Chain A
Amino acid sequence: DIQLTQSPSFLSASVGDRVTITCRASQGISTSLAWFQQKPGKAPKLLIYAASTLQSGVPSRFSGSGSGTEFTLTISSLQPEDFATYYCQQLNSYPLTFGGGTKVEIK
């Protein structure tokens, strides 16, 4: 199975900050990666797929980059509604796997 390691596991940030979350894969997965946002008590929401393609309706302050084994999710200017937990998921091979999550909290 492909293991995904997210860092940091937790980060504290202020509204307006630029935030970057990293996801590292245990083996190369080209650009076969998605990012999700999950708020407490809610289902995950798809933000980005194919490493950098923004899902329809997702604000442009979210962006993704990377290929191979290292990927990043960037929020260019953190908004109050962005405080949540973020997960990466690899879409390269089965079984599909998720990273452990990064919780973004208000400083």
Chain B
Amino acid sequence: QVQLQESGPGLVKPSETLSLTCTVSGDSITDYYWSWIRQPPGKGLEWIGYIHYSGSHYSGSTNYNPSLKSRVTISVDTSKNQFSLEVRSVTAADAAVYYCARGSDIPRLAPVLDYWGQGTLVTVSS
């Protein structure tokens, strides 16, 4: 059974960098589209981006939401079966529950988010 677990600081200061890690168990980090999604308290879902790691891509190929692209990096650590999210220069607008998820490759569709972590709340405050 595939399981994903987010980890990282629950409190980040304004202008600093938010860093989260997702540990994947029950599946290899190779293949699939390892994704991040966020949800501000009481609001809807926002897709942040994904990384797709295969044997032919040493560091993985990424795809980011243009609204965040200049501040976001998603990376993968195959030795630990983990992938990570960095959001730089955070503001109060970045406060949210952050979810990691697995995206599966379905023909003619963007990756389908079929397994999710439980989510981790990140607060932005000095």
Contact = CB atoms under 8 A, between A and B. Distances in A.
Partners in one complex: yes
Contact of B109 (A32, A44, A46): A32
Contacts, number: 61
A94 B45 CA distance: 15
Nearest to B115: A46
A44 B102 CA distance: 12
Contacts of B47: 89, 95-98
B118 interface: yes
Question: Sorted from nearest, which 8 A-B pairs have the closest CB atoms?
Answer: A43-B116, A91-B110, A98-B45, A96-B47, A95-B65, A91-B109, A49-B112, A46-B114
A66 to B, nearest CB: 15
Contacts of A100: 44
B44 A43 contact: no
Tell me the dominant secondary structure on chain B's binding face.
loop
A55 B114 contact: yes
Nearest to A87: B45
A101 interface: yes
Interface of B: 44-47, 63, 65-67, 99, 101, 106, 108-114, 116-119
A64 interface: no
Contact of B106 (A36, A50, A92, A95): A50
Contact of B113 (A46, A92, A101): A46
B122 to A, nearest CB: 15
A49 B101 CA distance: 15
Contacts of A61: none
